[in-house]
Structures are given as structure tokens and as C-alpha cells.
């Protein structure tokens, strides 16, 4: 059988302006859904390629290697078990007749003779089967089915209902006006949303006139660009905007968040960048406010100098190309001026009240109905931050306790300011500006913004010890409080970002580093909730949650599962030295003695687990006088020989050196297991040998549980 004709297929759905924040997802889902639907129906060659297009007024897909019809395929369908299909005499039953009639209708034949059926299987599993050649779907059939499946599954934020000219009601994201379905240069007769497929579309709303006929599917993008002034590719248009912004900026730097770039890209079909200005007087307002005002309200791109200082020049991305853009530039400059004036007004009004004077008003702001108000939360933060400062000071990390408690007191006060009310993204940032204006110590002002750090993966950590104390307090209070009222994360939901808070705690302890134990932090945080009956103690669960986050953090650093488990399985309380332990484990694993020692340690762990009484505390010290075998004496001597070096290296944090010293025990350990029966019949001898293994186990696993490295 000859292969069906293949060619490229274009599908375009032309609509009114699509929601910009959803355009990228809609475009991908539209193209991927059609591609999958065609593939499921056998209409794609093995090398078929998909190109997705999306503009503010169209969703489109170009698929290469699309067949005009799917190849026929051999089918084998089970009809009925023999016990049901045939009677005792081997004649067909009524159920078989009904089944064959229905099957004939479904496969498009006039009738099926029961003697044509294949009999297969044995006993109760014996059944009748029908073999036939199923006609492959035509492209029109397959594409229609793919469209019917894809459109209802699109990630539409809100469905609209609208009427077609014929009075029928249609439900879609926006009213749709045209449909193109071209296989090569031939229209595929499909319909959707009340539209019949053709080969014509419309170009740019203002820069193009009349219908644009697409002569061939492969010419879609080029014809649309040349005749319609539309860049159909979402990705190409996005990169064009990026390049034009950078070119227009010159020596300045563009403040270009990816989300803003996406949104602007979803608003234009023919992007053109123009430079605008605002009055320099506005630069007296914190630049974060001005930048956010321009981005949020106007979709403008702010510019800074090489030092990050805001310029009074900004860039706009217009959907109009003109040789006389003065009216466009002037209009945008007029529009942004009142927005910047609002920001200046909020800033001036907010500074008329100190942050400290706002703190009592937090009593009227509910944090969570089971936990209390923001004022009660602030009081907990003060207590926790003070205790953290005490713990760090005791560990040799200097923290100004009074500053930490003051920072915690003021940390949430800017939530009540006009600026943060208008732009919630500025919480913390405005607190720092206002605290400095109020004459607060710089460390206190810094803590107002830095206590939110790290806000996302890879974000900077708090820079000062005061900010660290307040940041730890903030994340611990959220983790313990929210978990304690039963709102711990599930597989799908984490509305209070407890995973992010846990990772932030770990990063501060590890990367700063901070020499304080997890249990101590959770205990002092739990004590702050002593007067909140709804918060149930959950330290053990939270500890496990933190260790799970720690495993992920270390794996992201490039450590293997076995390396991670070697350290985390010991449930380390302090994390300031954990990266040193991880590197020591990795270095140890590369030693020639590592595999044998890891296997021996695993064996020792299993022996001790089965004989729980074999601990040095339960049976006392090892008694060399009880030894009977030379291998026992040699192992004990080898342990005692390396012990001082191992303990000294461990004490000074030289974990690699400690594990290297332990590697010297390999030969003695091998001889012990080759020549000594641990579970001797003599109870005293058995206990002494178990104690010897216990002493080795305690020494060998101070840095990490090396048994996890065993294959």
C-alpha cells in the first residue's frame, strides 16, 4: 500500500483580543492539543514537527508531515466468550447475534457471519474474536476530532458566552471570527465555534487592510509578517521586544522582569519601542515605588544607570509603527505623570506617622482566625527573635538583642501604610525607608525588609545578624504556627509557602552559617505559642519536614542520595557544618578502603540493631582482658590508636581528616570478621565483642553513617 500524501498543516483560530496573562499558556495548549490529537489518529509522519503561534488576536499551529489520511490498520476485537456466544450444540446464541449486528454497524459492514470469527483461548477464557481492516481516518475527520477535543481543554481563565450572527450561542475565551485549516494549499473542511474553515485571515488591526489569503500552510508566518504586519511567533516577537528595548536603552540598563516582558508581548502584534521621560522631581520618591508604578499600572520599562539608580527616562512598547511618534510619546508621558504623583503623595502621607505609632493598629488586622492578629504575631516575633539573639550570642555570634527585638516589633508595621496598601509587593521595602526616616538604627531598618529573605530559590540571605535573627523568627513562627493548626503542606497545596519557609531556615543555618540547633529553635518558637490553644505541638513532625527539605537542598547541590543519607540519617542538630560533612563523605567514598569499611559498618549496624543491649552505656567499657583472639586485640588496639586523631579532627571540624583516619582501620576490621565469631556462646565473651563493635560504630559514625555508602 502506498503511503498517504503528506504535507504541512496550518490551523489558525482568529479571535478578539485574548487575555494577555493567559496568552502563552493558551497558545501552547492549543498547538500541543492539536498535535497530540492528530498523532493519536495516525495522521502524523514519524518526523512531524510542531510550530506554535500566538498573538493577541490569534492562536495557531503549523504541523509538518501531516497525512491526508491515516493508513488502514488491522484490528482484532473480542466479541464474546464462547460460553456466552454458543449454545451446547455449538450454535450461535441470541446475545451473539445482537453483538455481531452492533459490531457490523460500528465497523461499517453490512453483516458479520459468525463462522468468520476466530476462536482462541482455553477453558473459561476461550472467546470469539473478529478480525477486520479498519479504515484510517481522513485528515478532515481526524482534525475535526482533534479540534473538538482540544478547545474545551484549553486553560481558559474565564469563559465568555456570545452570539453568532445566526443567533447561536457560543462559549469560548473570546469571540472567534475566523478559522483557517490548510493542508498544503488545500482547505480542510472542518468547523468549530460556528466557523467554517477557509484560507484567509486578518492582519494588524491598524497597520493592515482587508483579508489576507494564505496561499500555502508553510507561508503563513512570512505572509502574515509582510502583508499583515504581524509577528505570529510568540517567542520570536518576545525576543524582538527584548532586543529593541536593549538597543533603545543605550548605556542605561532596562528593568525587564520576565513576567512584564511576557505581558507586553501578549499585547502587541507589531512591537515598536519608544523612549519617554518624566520630571526629575519624582526621583525623590523611592525608586522601587516608581518602578512598580510604571510596571504595574502602565506596563512600562524603567531604566537605571550602571549603578542601579533610576533614570527619569523610560521605554514603552507600542503596537503602532509611525515616523511621527510624538503624539504616542507625549500621551504616555501625560498618562504616567498622575501615577507617579500618586506614589509621591502616598510616600509623603506615610512619613507623617512613624512606624512605631502604627504598631498598636496591627491589633485590628487578623493574621489567622486561629492564631490571632498581626499584633499578637509581632509580639511572638519579638520573643522569638530575642531568644534567637541569646542563643547566637551564647554560640559566639554577636547579635544586638535589643535591635533584633526592635526590628521584629516594626517588621510588619508598613502593612498599614498607603504605599503598601496600593502595592503589596513593597511590604518590607517601604518599612526600611520609613524606619530610616524615623531615625531608627540602620540594622533595625534593614531588618524591616531583609526579614522576608530569602523570598525565593536563589534569593540573597539577610545581610546582618539582626536581620538574620528576625528572618529566622518570622519563618519559624509561620512554620510552627501554621503547622500547629493543621495546615501543613499536602502533595498539591502549600498555601502558606511552608516549604519555602523551611528552605529559608535551612539556608540561613547552613550558608551563613549559624551554630544553633534545630531543636532549640523549634522549642523556643513553640514556647511563644504557649498561650494559643489552637496551635498544637508538632516539633517532631516539623523536624522530619525540615530533614526532608534538607535532603532536597543537598541533592540540588549535586550530592548523591547515598551521600546525603549518610549525613542526614544521623539527624544532625546543627547544620552550620553540614557542607563540610558532605564533602568529607564524598572524599571518603573515593578512598580504596571506603567500600569495605562501609560494608563492615553496615554489618556492625545490623548486629547491634539485633542486640539492642550492646551499647557501651549498658555493658560498660571494652575489657581487653576478655579477648581470646588476636584479631580482637588487634582491632581494639587499632581503634584506640586512631581515636585521638579522629576525635581531635572532629572537634576542629576537619571531617575529611577524621574519615581519612578511620580508613586506616580497614585491615583490622577485615581480620576481625574473618577470624572472630561475635555471637559466641559465652555471654561475657559475646558482650565484650559487641561492646568492641559498639565502640567502633560510635567512632566511625560521628561524621556520617558510612554504612549508607555500601553497595
Architecture of domain 6-70+139-228: 2-Layer Sandwich (3.30)
Least confident of 28-42, 228-242, 340-354, 485-499: 485-499
Spatial distance between the Cα atoms of 66 and 69, rounded to a whole number of angstroms: 9
Least confident of 62-76, 219-233, 300-314: 62-76
pLDDT in tens, 677-697: 988 888 889 889 999 999 999
pLDDT at residue 615 above 80? Answer: no
Write out the three cell numbers for 374: 498581626
User: In this structure, are residues 389 and 444 in contact, taking their beta carbons and an 8 Å threshold?
Assistant: no
Domain ranges across the chain: 6-70+139-228, 73-134, 234-350, 367-556, 580-709
Alpha-carbon separation of residue 621 from 607, 631, 636, 686, 693 (angstroms): 18, 18, 12, 14, 11
Most confident of 303-312, 645-654, 669-678, 681-690: 303-312
Query: What is the pLDDT averaged over residues 644-652?
Result: 92
pLDDT in tens, 533-546: 999 999 999 999 99
pLDDT band at 611 (very low <50, low <70, confident <90, very high): confident
Query: What is the pLDDT averaged over residues 441-445?
Result: 97
pLDDT in tens, 243-301: 999 999 999 999 999 999 999 999 999 999 999 999 999 999 999 999 999 999 899 99
Residue with the larger pLDDT of the pair 691 and 31: 31
Q: CB neighbours of 135 closer than 8 A, spacing ≥ 6?
A: 72, 108
Q: Would you state the pLDDT for residue 613?
A: 53
User: In this structure, are residues 708 and 565 in contact, taking their beta carbons and an 8 Å threshold?
Assistant: yes
Query: What is the pLDDT averaged over residues 83-104?
Result: 89
DSSP per-residue string spanning 192-233: ETTEE-BSEEE--TTT--SEEE-SSGGGHHHHHHHHH-----
Q: How many CB atoms lie within 10 A of CB 134?
A: 14
pLDDT in tens, 378-434: 999 999 999 999 999 999 999 999 999 999 999 999 999 999 999 999 999 999 999
Of 227, 223, 143, the closest CA to residue 183 belongs to: 143
Q: Is 62 helix (H, G, I), strand (E, B) or coil?
A: strand
Query: What is the pLDDT averaged over residues 129-152?
Result: 91
Q: Would you state the pLDDT for residue 124?
A: 81
pLDDT band at 108 (very low <50, low <70, confident <90, very high): confident
Q: Would you state the pLDDT for residue 612?
A: 65
Of 650, 642, 471, the closest CA to residue 574 belongs to: 650
How many helices (H) and strands (E) would you count in the chain? 27, 20
pLDDT at residue 708 above 80? Answer: yes
What is the residue-averaged pLDDT of the chain?
93
Residue with the larger pLDDT of the pair 126 and 216: 216
Q: Would you state the pLDDT for residue 561?
A: 95
CA angle 501, 366, 489 (to 5 degrees): 30
The rounded percent of the chain whose pLDDT value lies above 70 is: 98
Q: Would you state the pLDDT for residue 4?
A: 56
DSSP per-residue string spanning 96-146: HHHHHHHHHHHHT-S---GGGSEEE--GGG-EEEEEEEEPPPBHHHHHHHH
pLDDT at residue 457 above 90? Answer: no
pLDDT at residue 313 above 50? Answer: yes
Using DSSP bridges, classify how beta strands 73-81 and 50-55 pair: parallel, antiparallel or unpaired. Answer: unpaired
pLDDT in tens, 467-513: 999 999 999 999 999 999 999 998 889 999 999 999 999 999 999 99
pLDDT at residue 233 above 60? Answer: yes
User: In this structure, are residues 118 and 129 in contact, taking their beta carbons and an 8 Å threshold?
Assistant: yes
Spatial distance between the Cα atoms of 65 and 183, rounded to a whole number of angstroms: 10
pLDDT in tens, 44-93: 999 999 999 999 999 999 999 999 999 888 788 898 998 888 888 889 99
Spatial distance between the Cα atoms of 168 and 163, rounded to a whole number of angstroms: 5
Residue with the larger pLDDT of the pair 117 and 433: 433
Q: Would you state the pLDDT for residue 563?
A: 95
Sign of CA dihedral 596, 600, 606, 609: negative
Q: Would you state the pLDDT for residue 616?
A: 46
pLDDT band at 2 (very low <50, low <70, confident <90, very high): very low
Q: 706: which strand partners?
A: none
Q: How many CB atoms lie within 10 A of CB 338?
A: 11
Query: Is 580-709 the same fold as 6-70+139-228?
Result: no
Of 307, 287, 310, the closest CA to residue 430 belongs to: 287
Of 127, 135, 83, 87, the closest CA to residue 109 belongs to: 135
Q: CB neighbours of 102 closer than 8 A, spacing ≥ 6?
A: none
Catalogue the E-assigned strands of 239-359: 253-254, 272-277, 301-304, 310-318
What's the whole-model pTM score? Answer: 0.81
Domain spanning 580-709: CATH 1.10.3720.10: no
Q: Would you state the pLDDT for residue 5?
A: 84
Spatial distance between the Cα atoms of 534 and 543, rounded to a whole number of angstroms: 20
pLDDT at residue 1 above 60? Answer: no
Of 393, 377, 409, 370, the closest CA to residue 525 belongs to: 377
Of 710, 708, 703, the closest CA to residue 582 belongs to: 703
Amino acid at each position: 500500500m502506498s503511503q498517504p500524501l503528506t504535507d504541512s498543516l496550518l490551523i489558525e483560530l482568529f479571535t478578539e483580543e485574548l487575555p494577555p496573562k493567559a496568552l502563552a499558556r493558551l497558545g501552547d495548549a492549543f498547538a500541543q492539543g492539536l498535535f497530540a490529537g492528530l498523532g493519536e489518529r495516525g495522521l502524523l509522519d514519524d518526523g512531524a514537527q510542531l510550530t506554535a503561534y500566538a498573538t493577541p488576536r490569534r492562536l495557531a499551529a503549523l504541523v509538518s508531515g501531516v497525512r491526508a489520511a491515516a493508513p488502514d490498520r488491522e484490528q482484532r476485537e473480542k466479541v464474546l466468550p464462547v460460553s456466552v456466544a454458543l449454545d451446547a450444540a455449538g450454535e450461535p446464541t441470541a446475545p451473539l447475534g445482537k453483538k455481531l449486528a452492533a459490531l457490523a454497524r460500528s465497523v461499517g459492514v453490512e453483516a458479520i457471519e459468525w463462522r468468520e470469527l476466530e476462536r482462541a483461548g482455553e477453558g473459561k477464557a476461550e472467546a470469539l474474536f473478529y478480525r477486520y481492516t479498519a479504515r484510517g481516518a481522513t485528515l478532515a475527520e481526524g482534525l475535526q476530532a482533534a479540534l473538538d477535543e482540544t478547545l474545551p481543554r484549553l486553560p481558559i481563565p474565564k469563559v465568555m458566552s456570545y452570539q453568532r450572527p445566526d443567533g447561536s450561542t457560543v462559549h469560548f475565551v473570546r469571540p472567534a471570527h475566523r478559522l483557517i485549516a490548510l493542508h498544503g494549499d488545500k482547505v480542510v473542511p472542518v468547523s468549530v465555534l460556528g466557523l467554517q474553515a477557509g484560507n484567509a485571515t486578518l492582519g494588524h488591526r491598524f497597520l493592515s487592510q482587508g483579508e489576507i489569503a494564505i496561499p500555502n500552510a508553510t507561508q503563513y508566518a512570512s505572509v502574515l509578517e509582510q502583508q499583515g504586519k504581524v509577528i505570529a511567533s510568540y517567542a520570536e516577537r518576545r525576543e524582538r521586544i527584548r532586543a529593541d528595548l536593549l538597543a533603545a536603552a543605550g548605556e542605561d540598563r532596562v528593568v525587564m522582569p520576565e513576567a512584564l516582558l511576557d505581558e507586553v508581548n501578549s499585547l502587541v502584534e507589531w512591537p515598536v519601542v519608544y523612549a519617554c521621560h518624566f520630571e526629575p522631581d519624582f526621583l525623590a520618591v523611592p525608586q522601587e515605588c516608581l518602578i512598580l508604578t510604571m510596571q504595574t499600572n502602565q506596563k512600562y520599562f524603567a531604566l537605571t544607570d550602571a549603578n542601579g539608580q533610576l533614570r527619569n527616562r523610560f521605554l514603552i512598547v507600542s503596537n503602532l509603527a509611525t515616523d511621527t511618534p510624538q503624539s504616542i510619546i507625549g500621551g504616555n508621558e501625560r498618562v504616567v505623570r498622575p501615577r507617579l504623583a500618586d506614589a509621591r503623595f502616598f510616600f509623603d502621607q506615610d512619613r507623617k506617622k512613624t512606624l512605631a505609632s502604627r504598631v498598636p493598629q496591627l491589633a485590628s488586622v487578623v493574621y489567622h482566625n486561629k492564631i490571632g492578629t498581626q499584633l499578637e504575631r509581632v509580639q511572638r516575633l519579638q520573643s522569638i527573635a530575642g531568644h534567637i539573639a541569646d542563643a547566637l550570642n551564647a554560640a559566639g555570634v554577636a547579635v544586638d538583642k535589643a535591635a533584633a527585638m526592635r526590628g521584629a516589633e516594626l517588621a510588619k508595621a508598613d502593612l498599614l501604610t498607603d504605599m503598601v496598601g496600593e502595592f503589596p509587593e513593597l511590604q518590607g521595602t517601604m518599612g526600611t525607608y520609613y524606619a530610616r526616616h524615623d531615625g531608627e538604627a540602620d540594622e533595625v531598618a534593614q531588618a524591616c525588609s531583609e526579614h522576608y529573605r530569602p523570598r525565593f530559590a536563589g534569593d540573597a540571605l539577610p545581610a546582618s545578624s539582626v536581620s538574620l535573627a528576625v528572618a529566622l523568627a518570622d519563618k519559624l513562627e509561620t512554620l510552627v504556627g501554621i503547622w500547629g493548626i493543621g495546615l501543613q503542606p499536602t502533595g498539591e497545596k502549600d498555601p502558606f509557602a511552608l516549604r519555602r519557609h523551611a528552605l529559608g531556615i535551612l539556608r540561613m543555618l547552613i550558608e551563613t552559617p549559624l551554630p544553633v540547633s534545630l531543636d532549640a529553635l523549634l522549642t523556643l518558637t513553640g514556647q511563644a505559642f504557649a498561650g494559643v490553644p489552637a496551635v498544637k505541638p508538632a516539633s517532631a513532625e516539623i523536624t522530619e519536614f525540615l530533614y526532608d527539605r534538607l535532603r532536597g537542598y543537598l541533592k540540588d547541590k549535586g550530592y548523591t542520595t547515598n551521600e546525603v543519607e549518610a549525613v542526614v540519617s544521623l539527624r544532625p542538630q546543627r547544620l552550620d557544618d553540614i557542607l563540610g560533612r558532605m564533602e568529607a563523605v564524598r572524599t571518603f567514598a573515593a578512598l580504596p578502603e571506603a567500600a569495605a569499611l562501609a560494608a563492615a559498618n553496615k554489618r556492625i549496624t545490623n548486629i547491634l540493631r539485633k542486640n539492642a543491649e550492646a551499647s557501651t552505656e549498658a555493658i560498660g567499657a571494652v575489657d581487653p582482658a576478655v579477648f581470646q583472639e588476636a584479631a580482637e586485640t588487634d582491632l581494639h588496639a587499632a581503634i584506640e590508636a586512631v581515636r585521638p586523631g579522629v576525635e581531635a579532627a572532629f572537634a576542629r571540624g576537619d571531617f575529611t581528616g577524621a574519615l581519612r583516619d578511620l580508613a586506616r582501620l580497614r585491615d583490622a576490621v577485615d581480620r576481625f570478621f574473618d577470624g572472630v565469631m561475635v555471637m559466641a556462646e559465652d555471654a561475657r565473651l559475646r558482650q565484650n565483642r559487641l561492646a568492641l563493635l559498639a565502640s567502633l560504630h560510635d567512632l566511625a559514625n560521628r561524621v556520617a553513617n558510612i554504612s549508607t555508602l555500601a553497595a
